[in-house]
Amino acid sequence: MHRRRLATGLAASALSVLTVVATATAADAVPADKPQVLSSWTQTSASSYNQWAAARANQAAWSAYAFDWTTDYCSSSPDNPLGFPFTMSCARHDFGYRNYKAAGTFTINKARLDSAFYEDLKRVCARYTGATKTTCDGTAWTYYQAVRTFG
């Protein structure tokens, strides 16, 4: 009788431990829609940029996705060349590069990431007019060509 109670108790304890481990593992798992979320935040549209910027401002809400939010902004190039605020465009570009590299799908997404970067830069330049806009557009084109070639 003692053996049966001991065996039953051990089985119940083992089941409890397995349930806790399985629950913790499921809770710690990265959501299955991570590739879709990543894709939605790395498109060329302004709405994609805005969704990413909102998520970046509230990273804790996305912690289950284990995204890499780190950035060195515009790397060794000025973040705000000639006063043009390219910092956030560079941060989103880094986000795309780092997370697609981690997912092992960087090569097939690089061209779109670079295009999204260029569109972000052009939206920055759209705030200006005249010669200032022309200068900004030229700087944006140079940054885009650099990431296309060396990124």
Looking at residue 144, its amino acid is Y
Find the mean pLDDT for residues 51-65.
98
Q: In the prediction, which pLDDT does 28 show?
A: 61
Residue closest to 147 by CA, chosen among 103, 104, 113: 113
Mean of the pLDDT values across residues 81-108? 98
Instruction: Map out the domains of the chain as residue ranges.
Output: 1-30, 31-150
**Mean pLDDT score of the chain:** 87
pLDDT higher than 80, residue 124: yes
> What local confidence, expressed as pLDDT, does residue 22 receive?
38
- Predicted TM-score (pTM) of the model is 0.81
> What CATH number was assigned to the domain covering residues 31-150?
1.20.90.10
Per residue in 129-150, pLDDT (tens digit) is 999 999 999 999 999 999 999 9
Q: Count of CB atoms within 10 A of residue 109's CB?
A: 19
Residue 147 is inside which H or E element, if any?
A: helix 130-150
* Residues recognised as catalytic: 93
Residue 73 burial class via C-beta count within 10 angstroms: exposed 0-12, middle 13-18, buried 19 and up: middle
Residues 5-48 pLDDT 10s: 544 444 444 444 334 333 344 446 889 999 999 999 999 999 99
